Chains A and B, each alone.
Chain A
Amino acid sequence: MSTTEAVAAGAVTRSLRGSRADVAGHVFTAVLLFSLLFTLAILAVLVGDQLQRGMPVLLERGADVLTSPLSSRPDRAGVAQGILGTAMLAVIVSLLAFPIGILTAVYLEEYAPANALTRFIDVNIRNLAGVPSVVYGLLGLAMFVSLFQLLGVGNGRNILSGGLTLAVLVLPLVIITSAEAIRAVPTTIREAGYGVGASRWQVVRTLIIPSAAPGILTGTVLALSRALGETAPLILAGAVLGSFSTGGSLADLFGGPYTALPIIVFDWARKPQEEFRALTSAAILVLLAVTILANAIAIYLRNRFERRW
């Protein structure tokens, strides 16, 4: 029939409207939403639970929790040494793992010839990323603690050996994520750079690394978050469980006993006193805050790089 007749008969309207409801599509959308809400719910329950347990002691004692050293008495115990330890570990891990990891990724992606040896190295780095963290703790104990003992730095169980252990732990992660980011830089940019007469080093420095910077920074954020949350390797590599005090000098700071926020959480969770329940939750909240802060800084840096283009 002609157009006007078809329109009048409502045939066009019907055909445009569609006759079947997209049941499967709606069900799928519902499943996706449910998965998202389930994940968010778990997160909300975990954080909410800790908030509920930990806020009372934080409100009652206020900043005292953040500034007091460890103590066997719950009304005097605080996480100050843990905050210091975690902060120092963050710096050590960043200074060691990030440059070495990023440069290794640059080498593997831009300089290494595409032969069996390179593939072998690549596979092994991926395997290293999957090794349980407690194994890295044993490695740290065997290598770094012994090293410092040999060098005469106390009993070897200091923040440097702990930091080295964590740096080695997250190094494969940094390498893998940085390599992915570098691989994602379009070949056209490389070709254009070479075509204008840039050497390989110039192409890497002025084109590839700036292009890959957002991805590399995301990788470092992940790595840092992982490092700050690790407990088992630090326990093995010599973090102190229970309270301690140091002289306060630089030598004590770097060569003496140390602890970190996850260690404190682990320690307090095992204590029998009832008051330590609330303190454990408070320590968890502090750890979450520190992690979020580290992530926020990295995300801010990443956004700054992305906006440059």
Chain B
Amino acid sequence: MPATSLGSDTVRDSDRVTDPARLEPSIVTTSVRPASDDAAVPASHVAPVIRLDGVSFYYGAFRAVKDITIHVPTHRITALIGPSGCGKSTLLRTINRMNDLIPNTRVEGTLRFHDEDLYASYVDPVEVRRRIGMVFQKPNPFPKSIYDNVAFGPRLTGFKGDLDGLVESSLQKAALWKDVKDKLKQSGLSLSGGQQQRLCIARAIATEPEVILMDEPCSALDPRATLQIEELMAQLKENYTIIIVTHNMQQAARASDRTVFMNMADDQAGYVVEQDDTITIFTNPTNQMTEDYVSGRFG
């Protein structure tokens, strides 16, 4: 049985990892992440850049998620998994205050970004979104040229430096530069689905955020494009913190360092069942419900 690596640290858990009874066949794949000394530290030992404490979110009177307390470690990929409708996307959108755009909503609890309360009264949500970027489920490039798509964010803040250089480096980091460097003036919509999503990632990176939120970024893409995005995430991890919501458990197992498993309670509110290093969640979870979910018995 070939050694597989689900988490960054393969040495400590290799005996549990290779137990075939524990693994879905498709999880047995080579790691997509580059080796690095920093990445050897397991996610649960890394200081969090984002902390949620007892967070609940209300649409009007309806509580969509309740008492969420999670840690998001720096320069790691954290996956939010769980069955449909358990509030993963809602939770993700509270982190960059996208839900502010929906009227009649309310947040309880604290969300901290580098120990600053994101919902403090002095905080400007526009600034939050520049530091915590977002990539959406369906690729949504602006109906503008590829160059203007990436330059959009920096132009908003009155970026005065080398815009061409910033656009190029963002596209390089999104592994799209080679594909588009000769057609920067063409419409962003002329690209394929996978390329459009990478353009959206480049657009998010251009504002030089610290955290990138990804809401099921591969669900609208074919498997090859999905793999490209996952490889990209592994590279991005070195400079950014990534939180990804995914329906695809195999993807979470392949690509993430830390996993938060959510479920929906009887009152229709989502809550955190368990959160830990990905390798633990998928091979040795504490909670029976987690075990049932990752082995496909429900969800």
| Chain A residues proximal to chain B, CB less than 8 Å | 113-114, 188-189, 191-199, 202, 206-207, 211, 309
Kindly list chain A residues whose C-beta atoms are within 8 Å of the C-beta of B101: 191, 194
The interface size bin for chain B is: 20 to 34
Identify the 3 closest CB pairs spanning chains A and B, nearest first: A197-B130, A195-B134, A197-B129
A192 to B96, CA, bound (A): 13
A198 to B127, CA, bound (A): 9
Kindly list chain B residues whose C-beta atoms are within 8 Å of the C-beta of A188: 136, 138, 140
A198 to B140, CA, bound (A): 15
| Chain B residues proximal to chain A, CB less than 8 Å | 96, 98, 101, 103, 126-130, 133-134, 136, 138, 140-144, 152-153, 156-157, 187, 189, 200, 203-204, 207
Kindly list chain B residues whose C-beta atoms are within 8 Å of the C-beta of A197: 126-130, 133, 153, 156-157, 207
Q: Given the known inter-chain contacts A113-B103, A114-B103, A309-B187, please indicate yes or no for A196 contacting B140, CB distance below 8 A.
A: no
Kindly list chain A residues whose C-beta atoms are within 8 Å of the C-beta of B152: 193, 196, 198, 206
Q: Per a CB cutoff under 8 Å, which of B143, B144, B207 touches A196?
A: B207
Q: Per a CB cutoff under 8 Å, which of B98, B144, B189 touches A191?
A: B98
A102 to chain B, nearest CB (A): 20
A194 to B189, CA, bound (A): 19
Check A198 against B143 for contact (C-beta < 8 Å). Answer: no
A189 to B152, CA, bound (A): 13
Q: Given the known inter-chain contacts A196-B204, A196-B207, A198-B156, please indicate yes or no for A189 contacting B136, CB distance below 8 A.
A: no
Kindly list chain B residues whose C-beta atoms are within 8 Å of the C-beta of A206: 152, 156
Q: Given the known inter-chain contacts A188-B136, A191-B136, A192-B136, please indicate yes or no for A199 contacting B143, CB distance below 8 A.
A: no
Check A196 against B153 for contact (C-beta < 8 Å). Answer: yes
Task: Kindly report which residue of chain A lies nearest to residue B143, judged by CB atoms.
Answer: A309
A118 to chain B, nearest CB (A): 11
Q: Given the known inter-chain contacts A191-B98, A195-B98, A202-B156, please indicate yes or no for A211 contacting B143, CB distance below 8 A.
A: yes
Kindly list chain A residues whose C-beta atoms are within 8 Å of the C-beta of B156: 196-199, 202, 206
* Interface of A (DSSP majority class): helix
Task: Kindly report which residue of chain B lies nearest to residue A207, judged by CB atoms.
Answer: B142
Kindly list chain B residues whose C-beta atoms are within 8 Å of the C-beta of A189: 140, 142-143
Q: Given the known inter-chain contacts A197-B126, A202-B156, A206-B152, please indicate yes or no for A192 contacting B207, CB distance below 8 A.
A: no
A198 to B204, CA, bound (A): 12
Q: Given the known inter-chain contacts A188-B138, A189-B142, A207-B142, please indicate yes or no for A194 contacting B98, CB distance below 8 A.
A: yes
Check B142 against A192 for contact (C-beta < 8 Å). Answer: yes
Task: Kindly report which residue of chain A lies nearest to residue B187, judged by CB atoms.
Answer: A309
Task: Kindly report which residue of chain A lies nearest to residue B209, judged by CB atoms.
Answer: A197
A84 to B8, CA, bound (A): 79
Kindly list chain B residues whose C-beta atoms are within 8 Å of the C-beta of A193: 142, 152
Task: Kindly report which residue of chain A lies nearest to residue B141, judged by CB atoms.
Answer: A192
Task: Kindly report which residue of chain A lies nearest to residue B204, judged by CB atoms.
Answer: A196
A126 to B86, CA, bound (A): 41
Interface pairs (14), CB distance under 8 Å: A188-B136, A188-B140, A192-B203, A193-B142, A194-B129, A196-B153, A196-B203, A196-B207, A197-B127, A197-B130, A197-B153, A197-B156, A199-B126, A206-B156
A198 to B155, CA, bound (A): 10
Q: Knowing that A193-B152, A197-B130 touch, tell me 9 more A-B residue pairs with CB under 8 angstroms.
A: A113-B103, A114-B103, A188-B140, A191-B98, A192-B136, A192-B140, A193-B142, A194-B129, A197-B126
A196 to B200, CA, bound (A): 10
Check B133 against A195 for contact (C-beta < 8 Å). Answer: yes
A114 to chain B, nearest CB (A): 6
Check A198 against B200 for contact (C-beta < 8 Å). Answer: no
A225 to B127, CA, bound (A): 45
Kindly list chain A residues whose C-beta atoms are within 8 Å of the C-beta of B130: 196-197
A113 to B104, CA, bound (A): 10
A178 to B96, CA, bound (A): 31
Question: Which of B130, B152, B157, B207 gathers most chain A CB within 10 Å?
Answer: B152
Kindly list chain A residues whose C-beta atoms are within 8 Å of the C-beta of B103: 113-114
Question: Which of A113, A191, A192, A211 gathers most chain B CB within 10 Å?
Answer: A192
B138 to chain A, nearest CB (A): 7
A242 to B136, CA, bound (A): 66
Q: Per a CB cutoff under 8 Å, which of A114, A196, A211, A309 touches B129?
A: A196
A270 to B10, CA, bound (A): 97
Kindly list chain A residues whose C-beta atoms are within 8 Å of the C-beta of B144: 309
Kindly list chain B residues whose C-beta atoms are within 8 Å of the C-beta of A191: 98, 101, 136, 140
Task: Kindly report which residue of chain A lies nearest to residue B189, judged by CB atoms.
Answer: A309
Check A196 against B98 for contact (C-beta < 8 Å). Answer: no
B225 to chain A, nearest CB (A): 18
Task: Kindly report which residue of chain B lies nearest to residue A188, judged by CB atoms.
Answer: B140
A206 to B149, CA, bound (A): 11
Question: Which of A189, A194, A195 gathers most chain B CB within 10 Å?
Answer: A195
A216 to chain B, nearest CB (A): 15
A292 to B295, CA, bound (A): 69
A241 to B140, CA, bound (A): 58
A131 to B207, CA, bound (A): 50
Q: Given the known inter-chain contacts A114-B103, A189-B143, A309-B143, please indicate yes or no for A196 contacting B138, CB distance below 8 A.
A: no
B102 to chain A, nearest CB (A): 11
B128 to chain A, nearest CB (A): 8
Kindly list chain B residues whose C-beta atoms are within 8 Å of the C-beta of A194: 98, 101, 129
A196 to B157, CA, bound (A): 11
Kindly list chain B residues whose C-beta atoms are within 8 Å of the C-beta of A199: 126, 156
A67 to chain B, nearest CB (A): 47
A207 to B203, CA, bound (A): 15
A195 to B99, CA, bound (A): 11
